[in-house]
Amino acid sequence: MMTSPSNYKSNYRCTPAFERFYTGGPYAVSPDSSFLACACDNDVKIVDALDSSVRATLEGDSGRITAITIGPDGRFLFSASHSRQIRVWDLSSFKCVRSWK
């Protein structure tokens, strides 16, 4: 059986891909679609939508993150966790500015 030579592609375009740290769970996309926030156990990762780099990691909760939302103006992120803590994060400084339990 004779087979013809395969024409394999000789060049490839590099495309960004999300790191494998995200395994599913709550996430939110910013109003302007420039970044997304995703839960990673007890932390929230802020990921650039263009190049998939991690802009920031919001740390400080003692329980697994169960819900995330971003305010309509994109300035604040709200997170809730199994520890029954609700936090408000300022997305310009990546600091927690308010929390309730």
pLDDT computed for residue 58 by the predictor: 96
pLDDT band at 22 (very low <50, low <70, confident <90, very high): low
Give the model confidence (pLDDT) of 70-88 as tens digits. 999 999 999 999 999 999 9
Distance (Å, rounded) from C-alpha 8 to C-alpha 19?
Answer: 28
Encoded tokens for 74: 């994109």
Give the model confidence (pLDDT) of 38-73 as tens digits. 998 899 999 999 888 899 999 988 889 999 999 999
Answer whether residue 14 shows pLDDT above 90.
no
pLDDT computed for residue 95 by the predictor: 97
- Kindly list the domain boundaries of the chain, sorted by start residue: 27-100
* Pairing relationship of beta strands 65-70 and 54-58 according to DSSP bridges: unpaired
Q: Where does 27-100 sit in CATH, by number?
A: 2.40.10.480
pLDDT computed for residue 21 by the predictor: 60
What's the mean pLDDT in 9-37?
78
Note if the pTM is more than 0.85.
no
CB 42 within 8 A of CB 59: yes
pLDDT computed for residue 61 by the predictor: 82
